Structure 1
Amino acid sequence: MKKNVMLGAITSSLILFAGCSSNNLDSTNSNKQKNNKQLLSVVESAELPTMDISKAVDVVSFSAISQTMEGLYEFNDDSIPQAALAKEVVEPTNNGLTYTISLKEDGKWSNGEPVTAHDFVYSWQRTVNPVTSSEYAYLFSGIVNADAITKGEKKPEELGVKALDDYTIEISLEKPIPYLNSLLAKPTFYPQNKKAVEEFGDNYATSSENLVYNGAFKLDQWDGTNTTWNYIKNDQYREKKHVSLDEINVTVVKENGTSLNMYQADEVDIIPVKGEFAQQQKDNADFIVREYPSSYYIQYNFKNKLASNKNLRKAIGYSINSKEIADTILGDGSKEINGFVATGILNPKTGKDFAEESGKLTEFNQEKAQEYWKKAKLELGNTPLNFTLLASDTDSAKKLAEYVQGQLESTLDGLKINVSAIPFSNRLDKMSNGDFEIVLAGWSATFADPVDFLQLANVDASMNFGKWNNEEYGKIMNDVTNTYAADSDKRWESMIEAHKLMMEELPYQPLYQSSEAFLVKPKVKGLVYRALGSPYYKNVTVE
């Protein structure tokens, strides 16, 4: 019977599942089984860019960090934060401005040192320090002095977090943050071992050797660039007796057909499936679809003359058939999207879906596309009408890029799209450096609030790689995060207003709402596909 996992009622986070083994796994599996060891082999669709908690921004890195590190909180099966290293999930005091969190005292690093409150303070200070150049430093906004520190106006040591003693953390806020407990379960807020960071220096977290771990597993056999790595059971983990798996073998396989062949040959236990392969496997009892709030889109670089032309962006928007992409190009359970913010994020007060309340903000209409294209050509004059579309080199990303290329060139007469498909980590680097014209990218919610999507378009947001700058949008978002921080009704209304303005100006062109499809062997037990966070292999057993 096909399993279909619906998780859109909360929100979701970045999540792909780690990779598979190589073709010699048959003998490896046999040896493991003879030794009564638990081995899992999984396929990852892209390389692992980094293990640096302060610098990770992608699904692959967060998945790896989630296996090997542990924070204050983690997500339960329903994507609700629950205690991990913290003794309990706490509610704020001082009108929502103070969180005091006590830690369990049995946490250990793989070097034998205890995990203390000082490790969290150090980690957070390192992330907001401008020298670190963390693209996720903005997530600390709202903690006392965080914004001033990231701007270089105050020292990292002035961040509003301190260790009251070795096992007690106090967080001081400038304004209430309704979703803070969800943030604290995110790897960006995990601890870091100061001794290891200083010892390894520039090489810190660039390989499995140059890092220490406090989670259920340790990373092994990763040199920073290779396409295979392992997770091995961490004998220093505080709850090691509850961890069944001894080893997880990960291999990057970018071709869907190759990974499917490996799965059918019983060489791997979990693979992602996309496109026609997902469609072919829908009746397979091993087939699982995970639906969650995640948008895939075109991002424009506003330094490019074509991209900065609003009529051209509108012409492209009307040329995109989101339903066709979801149903025909992908076929993995992904859905048509009607705005930048995906469905599945609910108003905690009314239970209404944010995307549905925003209304239908996208439309496929080729006549309107050509109408705006004519206006754009008049405004652009003799400007060469061509883009280079940057994409990852996975099968699904390349097929989507080819679809976008064909759709735009056939609808918008004279427009030329060149596709540049490069490795995932290289694509991330180029985006971060603003080295693109237009790029295919995606965003999965990391906490249960629409601002997680909307803040990407703020002019000063590190993730605003295209440098869109709209004064009215900035004002609305300032009201969302500051003026109405404690007024849930006005805050929600302002976020809808911001969403509509974004879709009028189109700094991003939504393509579809992502889902993920997997084949999972029946022998794999305890693997949960939550709406938030990566899967925790520490809960998995293999029968």
Structure 2
Amino acid sequence: MMVASLTLLVGCGNNNAKKEKSDDKQEAKTEKQVLTVVESSELPTMDISKATDVVSFSAISNVMEGLYEFADDSTSQPALAKEVVEPTDDGKKYTIALKEDGKWSNGDPVTAKDFVYSWQRSADPKTASEYSHLFEGFKNYEDIKTGKKPATELGVKALDDYTIEIELDHPIPYLNSLLAKPTFYPQHQKTVEEKGDKYATNSDNLVYNGAFKLANWDGTNISWKYEKNENYRDAKNVKLDEVNVEVVKENGTSLNMFQADEVDVIQVKGEFAQQQAGNEDLVVREYPSSYYMQYNFDNKLAANKSFRQAVTYTVDSEQIVTNILGDGSKEIHGFVPTGIVNPKTGGDFAKDSGNLKETSSEKAKAAWETAKKELGNEKLEFTLLASDTDSAKKLAEYIQGTLEEGLPGLKVNVSTVPFANRLDKMSKGDFDIVLAGWAATFADPYDFLQLAKTGTVQNYGKWEDAEFTKLLDDSSTTYVNDVDKRWETLIAAHKRMMEELPYTPVYQSSESFLVKPHVKGLVYRSLGSPYYKNVSIEK
């Protein structure tokens, strides 16, 4: 890997210590602003309609721009929209005016039609977007999903070049938060159609409307760049000329690079995070995020409820966050993490739900004995799928040892694969049990609970439960205008989910980063990815 060369700040002039002060000033003015960051995994896709993971969303958030973006406090603020609007028609219509200075990197204007096209493409079943369910509640989406109507009938239209109208079947309380998410960014129709199957598979097969342009990405490599986009509408306020991204999966390696001043930002986990506890460069990001084990109900062992109970009673969340992670992550007491609050009362959803996860060796053994009788086999086995990052490997190995020790006769195999491969295997249902995570994409419990809903693409394990599905449907239709009743219904769904255990919650994620003091303006919010357009280097 060409690591050191990526970190250089390129200047003009010579390095003679005797040069005049005026030359120093001139060099400072012309020196490039370069930020170097480490990612733990490869970049799976740049297709807005198909992205589902944090690495892809981070890249898209920096080279594209939507109607809204997340403010530092994670509320929505205007980006390409002139303002954050309130709905009319009893919460079922939004009319959003666009700024008229948005441009694509090829010089074309960014118009309302680019948003309409993007959303129709994502909602179209032919695109096979795993996030198409985010359009639930948009007028005609249900008929589009089932093929009864074409995607062009989705409840969004361009009233003119710079005005978008959204029509809903029912109010969506969190729509303004959704509209800040990359899934709702625009796409340049001509580029999508001209590139065909090659669209968004590398940095050359895209156009960009954000602060940066992606460069040096061939679709599989472990380094890429964000280069300043001179056509960006607010380019004059973007300080960085370049962001270099290097994938490093071993935490010890990235820490050595940080200490050698080869990189500016890294994430630290486990013992490496613990060692940095007193470091002034340490930044801890707390946000609503769950890490969990997802069961595949096509697997006989995973489909057995007694087995899932035995696993859940055995996996000790407190032990994991204390002894394995050490990065600020927290013990979890249900599938929905803390940090999502009732808009009316301010109550935290996870706390309002109560303690829904218990660790008990006694109950684990009892459930395990029941599972063995039900399955008719004293020796049972499964493969735990995980990503091949340092932290994921260590967690998988810890769970392997804990389960084999606590549930006699159980054999756990561990399979670690690159992040993109893990996502692919999950989407194909090619796993027994998988270690995965979900970070809040909008500030509502529904964001987490819908992962287990029948028909949702992210329900990779194919769990089906009519009671749970009805509760979720009621929360988004029948009780959508009744905050108290909707909250109660979502809590009931949460409890039902934790009774049946299609997932075993493992911990609530936090992230620890080391950030060089000369990096200014880098904000880790509870929602969304950092925006490098707000960052500068001040040495």
TM-score of the pair, normalised by structure 2: 0.96
Residue 23 of structure 1 and its aligned partner are, at CA, apart by: 2.9
1:23 matched to 2:4: yes
Question: What whole-Å deviation, never above 9, does each CA across 1:240-297 have from its counterpart, x for those lacking one?
Answer: 0000000000000000000000000000000000000000001011011111110000
Instruction: Report the equivalent of 1:373.
Output: 368
- 473-482 vs 311-320, which deviates more? 473-482
Does 1:500 pair with 2:495?
Answer: yes
Equivalent of residue 261 in structure 2, options 244, 266, 273? 266
Aligned to 2:203: 208
SS of residue paired to 2:421: helix
Shifted more, 30-39 versus 252-261: the winner is 30-39
Q: Which residue number corresponds to residue 40 of structure 2?
A: 45
> C-alpha separation between the residues in 2 aligned to 1:398 and 1:147?
40
Q: Deviations over 1:337-384 (max 9, x none)?
A: 000000000001000000001000111101110000000000000386
1:398 matched residue in structure 2: 393
Please name the residue that 1:81 is paired with: 76
- 1:509 alignment partner in structure 2: 504
What is the aligned partner in structure 2 of residue 541 from structure 1? 536
Aligned residue number for residue 104 of structure 1: 99
1:306 correspondence with 2:301: yes
1:430 deviation in Å?
0.3
2:409 corresponds to 1:414: yes
SS at match of 1:516: strand
Aligned length: 523
Q: Does the Cα contact within 8 Å between 1:21 and 1:41 map onto a contact in 2?
A: no
- Whether 2:415 is the aligned partner of 1:435: answer no
Kept in 1: contact 2:9–2:33 (CA 8 A): no
What corresponds to 1:226 in structure 2?
Answer: 221
Return the offset for 1:31: 4.5
**What is the CA–CA distance in structure 1 between the aligned matches of 2:296 and 2:149, rounded to whole Å?**
31
Write the letter of the residue equivalent to 2:187.
Q
Letter matched to residue 301 of structure 2: L
Residues of 1 paired with 2:142 and 2:380: CA distance? 40
Partner of 2:515: 520
Distance 1:187 1:383, change over 3 A: farther
CA distance in 1, matches of 2:180, 2:164: 15
State percent identity of aligned pairs. 69
Q: Which residue is equivalent to 1:236?
A: 231
Q: Distance in 1 between matches of 2:148 and 2:456?
A: 17
Who wins on radius of gyration, i.e. which is larger? 2
Contact 1:21 1:249 (C-alpha < 8 Å) held by counterparts: no
User: CA–CA distance in 1 between the matches of 2:122 and 2:379?
Assistant: 41
Query: Over aligned residues, Cα RMSD in angstroms?
Result: 1.1
Is 2:327 the counterpart of 1:346? no
Q: How does 1:484-495 map to 2 (within 5 A)?
A: 484-495=479-490
Report the secondary structure of 2:9's partner residue: helix
| 1:146 shift after superposition | 1.2
User: What whole-Å deviation, never above 9, does each CA across 1:295-345 have from its counterpart, x for those lacking one?
Assistant: 000000000000110000000000011001011100000000000000000
Amino acid at match of 1:360: N
User: How far off is 1:29 after superposition?
Assistant: 2.7
Secondary structure of 2:44's aligned partner: coil
What is the aligned counterpart of 2:146 among 143, 151, 154? 151
Instruction: List gaps (5 residues or longer) in structure 2.
Output: 13-26
Encode CA deviations 1:125-144: one digit per residue, 9 max, x unaligned. Answer: 00011110000000000000
1:22 counterpart letter in structure 2: V
Whichever residue aligns with residue 9 of structure 2, its letter is N
Q: Give the equivalent residue in structure 1 for 2:325.
A: 330
Q: Deviations over 1:12-61 (max 9, x none)?
A: xxxxxxxx9713345x3354877411000000000000000000000000
Residue 148 of structure 1 and its aligned partner are, at CA, apart by 1.6
Tell whether the 8 Å contact from 1:21 to 1:251 is kept in structure 2 after alignment.
no
Aligned to 1:60: 55
Q: In 2, distance between residues paired with 1:329 and 1:394? A: 14
Letter in 2 for 1:495: L
Say if 2:124 and 2:151, in contact at 8 Å, map to a contact too: yes
Letter in 1 for 2:251: N
- Structure 2 counterparts to residues 248-263 of structure 1, below 5 A: 248-263=243-258
- Is 141-150 or 300-309 further displaced after alignment? 141-150
Q: Match of 2:414, SS? A: strand
- The ranges of structure 1 where at least 4 consecutive aligned residues each deviate by more than 4 angstroms after the TM superposition are 30-35
**Residue type of the partner of 1:23?**
A
Amino acid at match of 2:5: N
Counterparts of 1:309 and 1:247, CA distance in 2: 51
Contact 1:337-1:513 at 8 Å conserved across structures: yes
SS at match of 1:126: helix
- Are the aligned partners of 1:432 and 1:463 in contact in 2 as well (CA < 8 Å)? yes
Inter-CA distance 21–359: structure 2 relative to 1 (3 Å threshold): farther
Distance 1:21 1:158, change over 3 A: farther
- Distance in 1 (CA, whole Å) between partners of 2:401 and 2:11 is 49
Shift of 1:70: 0.3
Alpha carbons 1:299, 1:441 under 8 Å: kept: yes
Residues 21, 250 of structure 1: 8 Å contact kept = no
- 1:150 deviation in Å? 1.8
Pairing 1:319–2:314 present? yes
Cα distance in 1, alignment partners of residues 149 and 400 from structure 2: 46
The Cα offsets for residues 396-450 of structure 1, whole Å up to 9 and x where unpaired, read as 0000000110000000000000000000000000000111000000001111100
User: 1:93: which partner in 2?
Assistant: 88
Q: Which residue of 1 aligns with 2:419?
A: 424
2:17 maps to what in 1? none
Please tell me whether the aligned partners of residues 171 and 481 of structure 2 are also in contact (alpha carbons under 8 angstroms). yes
Partner of 1:9: none
Contact 1:182 1:448 in 2 (8 A): yes
Distance 2:113 2:218 in 1: 29
Q: Offset at 1:394?
A: 0.1
Find the aligned partners of 1:61 and 1:333 in 2 and give their Cα distance: 24
Does 2:352 align with 1:357? yes
Match of 1:291, SS state, is strand
1:386 to 376, 381, 386: 381
Tell me if structure 2 keeps the 8 A contact 1:41–1:270: yes
C-alpha distance in structure 1 between counterparts of 2:181 and 2:388, whole Å? 27
- Give the residue type in structure 2 aligned to 1:522: P
CA contact (8 A) 1:218 1:234 kept: yes
